[in-house]
Chain A
Amino acid sequence: MIKFVVGRTLMIIPILLGVTFIVFTILYLTPGDPGRMILGPQAEQIAVDMLNEEMGFNDPFFTRFFAYVINVVTRFDFGTSFRTRQPVFDEILIRFPYTLRLATAAVVVASFIGIPIGVLSAVKQYSLADLIPRAISMFLAAVPLFWLGLMLILTFALTLGWLPSSGVATWRHYILPVTTSALPTAAGLMRMTRSTMLETIRQDYIRTARAKGAPEGRVIFKHALKNALLPVVTVLGGSFGFLLGGAIVTETVFAMPGLGTMMVNAIRMQDIPMVLAATIFIATICCLVILMVDLAYGFIDPRIRAKFLK
């Protein structure tokens, strides 16, 4: 067991290094002179050159990359913002709670909607309780997140006046953004639960359970659901990452001060260290969540564990 946990946890290091390398390389391609961006167009060329030299912007690519990784690992130093000249990590820590709250609430809401409906639609296959949720989920798979958000604002904030349309002051401000993020995820979870559930209830051991006279509710919830939910849990981990990414759009629609709006602003301002740090930070969180899901999976399912023990 320890071997499994350690082995799986260590696997995350090369992935995170790879992620950092890819994002660093992409943003390295940004045209423009970092010293000029920090000091502005009026600054003397000599001051710009000196700043570039001092901050190491003239160093070769790999020197800069390794310096960055070492700073991140040893001091949590993700660089300094071009715009505010403050460490970008401080800003990320201020913004992240909003994004985390939004994504977590959305995953929870999506699971409570998607999984039960998926079970129902598999158990009552081809009935109205199957067809209507499937039609709705087909529709939700095609709706842009931001459009859904705008429509909810139009209906519940502007027309009915029940809920606020922007900001994060109270929990009521979170209702519309969470709904916006949760609905498409719920649709995906519903489809996934339905298909694994359909597969499971056709297995022999389910027929055995029924044959020995177990009540239908027990067969579905005790025998079938337990096994059917395993792949769904993996998908949940992935959708958390998707939601963190999607938060960029949701936050823009609802004017929430999270990581997403911070990133969009940073891109507009050409504040590259900010974009770099935010991207790496979110990708790291996604990897950690997937790691936790995998570990939990290993505890539940001995087959996964066995792969690491050979």
Chain B
Amino acid sequence: MESKRKKQSQLREVWRRLKKDKTAMVGLFIIIVFALAVIFAEQISPFHNAIRQSGEHRLQPPSADFIFGTDAFGRDIFTRVLHGGRISLSIGFVTASASLLIGGLLGAMAGFYGGWGDEVIMRIMDTLMSIPSILLSLAIVAALGANMTNLLIAITVASIPAFTRLVRASVLTVVEQDFIEAARACGTSDFRIICKHILPNAIGPIIVQTTASVSGMILAAAALSFIGMGVQPPQPEWGAMLSEAREFIRTAPHMLVFPGFAIILSALSFNLIGDGLRDALDPRLKD
């Protein structure tokens, strides 16, 4: 009971500091708006508007009927950005959670047990990290084929090493401390020590990294889709939309503007929240 109250007050303290950070709050606000828009996308403008083609409305600039204009097939860009957000934002969330889970597990094991397991895991991660991540993703897509699932796998695999390193480093700062020794002496199981004692004390930097990494993953997914190695048309992913828009850069530049802004705003917001969280979790780091 006592510890629960303490945990709550710690969280409240972090939230209190985060609330004072105006830029982080702007980021949070934008993300909440985007999330709501994406969740209620079907109610705001149904999916069939995003793929219904119309010959008479091709390449129209923004107007009262089509607030973001239309694309080369006469499809409503607003609806496409909205439903594209479903795909782009989910890619960000799914890949960030998956690489956190896998990388976190590997890193926690490496840091907690040490020894040859640690050596093997970390040498593999070092090797993976010496391949530029977009190249690694591209090689995976090349082998498995270009579609949404493989894009998720490719981005996750390329992000795992960074998480493994981070979680391992965080675990190492905690694992030598006396209270872990005490827990061991009480006969607590390894699993329980890791989950109950180590992770809660090492969680700060992990939360920050995960939040900030979502933006990197949104950008990576957009880049891969842009070069045709990710989500395939007619699916309205933001990067894929920009890839289609590229051909009409002379005649219909409005096609470039809105998907681009959607990517920038969401990536920027996750970075802002990440920075805010870093300062709120550890005020000493703030310069």
Contact = CB atoms under 8 A, between A and B. Distances in A.
Contacts of A138: 268, 271-272
Interface string A274-310: 0110010011001100100000000000000000000
Contacts of B141: 267
A245 B132 contact: yes
Name the residue among B146, B239, B250, B264 with the largest chain A CB count within 10 angstroms: B264
A19 B132 CA distance: 11
Contact of A144 (B246, B249, B263): B263
B219 A245 contact: no
B268 A142 contact: yes
B142 A30 contact: yes
Given A142-B267, A154-B249, 9 more contacts: A15-B126, A30-B142, A138-B271, A138-B272, A144-B223, A146-B227, A158-B249, A248-B227, A263-B138
Contacts of A212: none
Name the residue among A142, A195, A263 with the largest chain B CB count within 10 angstroms: A142
B264 A22 contact: no
Interface string A7-27: 000000011001100110011
A52 interface: no
B228 A264 contact: yes
Prevailing SS type, chain A contact patch = helix
A150 interface: yes
Contact of B256 (A18, A30, A125, A151): A151
Contacts of B126: 15, 18
Nearest to A21: B127
B176 to A, nearest CB: 22
A158 B250 contact: yes
B130 A282 contact: no
Interface in A152-179: 153-154, 158
Nearest to A165: B249
A183 B133 CA distance: 19
Interface in B173-203: none
A290 B146 CA distance: 31
A253 B219 CA distance: 16
A203 B227 CA distance: 47
B268 A139 contact: yes
Contact of B134 (A30, A31, A249): A249
A144 B143 contact: no
A182 interface: no
Interface in B90-122: none
B227 A19 contact: no
B94 to A, nearest CB: 19
A286 B228 contact: no
Name the residue among B124, B139, B141, B227 with the largest chain A CB count within 10 angstroms: B139
A61 interface: no
Interface of B: 123-124, 126-128, 130-136, 138-146, 215, 219, 222-223, 226-229, 239, 242, 246, 249-250, 253, 256, 260, 263-265, 267-268, 271-272, 287
Contacts of A158: 249-250
Contact of A248 (B135, B146, B249): B135
A163 B107 CA distance: 49
A29 interface: yes
Interface of A: 14-15, 18-19, 22-23, 26-31, 125, 138-139, 141-147, 150-151, 153-154, 158, 195, 198, 241-242, 244-246, 248-249, 252-253, 263-264, 266-268, 272, 275-276, 279, 282-283, 286-287, 290
Contact of B143 (A29, A142, A153): A29
A248 B134 contact: yes
Contacts of A290: 130
A248 B131 contact: no
Contacts of A286: 130-132
Contacts of B139: 23, 26-27, 275-276, 279
A147 B249 CA distance: 11
Nearest to B260: A147
Contacts of A29: 143-144
Nearest to B246: A150
Nearest to A122: B287
Nearest to A251: B227
A142 B271 contact: yes
Contacts of B127: 15, 18-19, 22
A26 B140 contact: yes
B61 to A, nearest CB: 15
B142 A267 contact: yes
A287 B135 CA distance: 14
B106 to A, nearest CB: 15
A95 B21 CA distance: 48
A248 B135 CA distance: 8
Nearest to A12: B130
